[in-house]
Copies of this chain bind each other. A is one copy, B any other.
Amino acid sequence: MIISSIEVLDYYRAMTNDDFDAQTIAGLLWRVTEQARLSFDMVAEESDLTPAQTRALLSLEGPSPMRGLAGNLGCDASNVTGIADRLEARGLIRRETGSDRRIKLLALTPQGRMVRDLVRSRLSESSPATTSLSDDERRTLKELLLKMAAMTEGRPA
């Protein structure tokens, strides 16, 4: 017998307002992030990108050393070679060289910027924050997210 999404959701709904313990909220947050993961993978696929390639594209705000990207992706530096190879082969990024000739800077090409913006806007459209919350609720959520995101300082993201 399968425990369906709806049954699990009913379980959360049945909680009284006093149920705000860490495990409960963490479980709910996990459900939302799981939904976000599935949505993210679909958006990535629409642009013919793997999840890792998409995360890389979204991380490249400015030209960044490959090692820095590895930190953002949370993977070993050796992996970035292959990911960058594939993005470069598709013309979405470029390898640039600066004064320190050991370092290769990854930079978005104009086409890469276009794809990134498209992905970003599709992610925004499918975000549960967009589809399920009012303006007021989003304002409240933003404050809470800011506090939660503050913990990421000094950590990759």
Contact = CB atoms under 8 A, between A and B. Distances in A.
Among A8, A31, A33, find the residue whose CB has the most chain B CB atoms closer than 10 A.
A33
Contacts of A121: 23
Contact residues on A (Cβ < 8 Å of other chain), bracket: 35 or more
A146 interface: yes
A61 B31 CA distance: 14
Contacts of A29: 36, 127-129, 141, 145
Interface of A: 1-3, 5-6, 8-9, 12-13, 17, 19-20, 22-38, 41, 55, 58, 61-65, 68, 74, 120-121, 123-125, 127-133, 135, 137-142, 144-157
Interface secondary structure of A, over-half rule: helix
A32 to B, nearest CB: 5
A61 B120 CA distance: 34
Contacts of A157: 5, 8, 31, 34-35, 38
A13 B146 contact: yes
A61 B139 contact: no
Given A5-B153, A29-B141, A144-B144, 11 more contacts: A5-B154, A5-B155, A6-B153, A25-B141, A25-B142, A29-B36, A35-B149, A37-B74, A131-B151, A132-B147, A137-B147
A120 B23 CA distance: 8
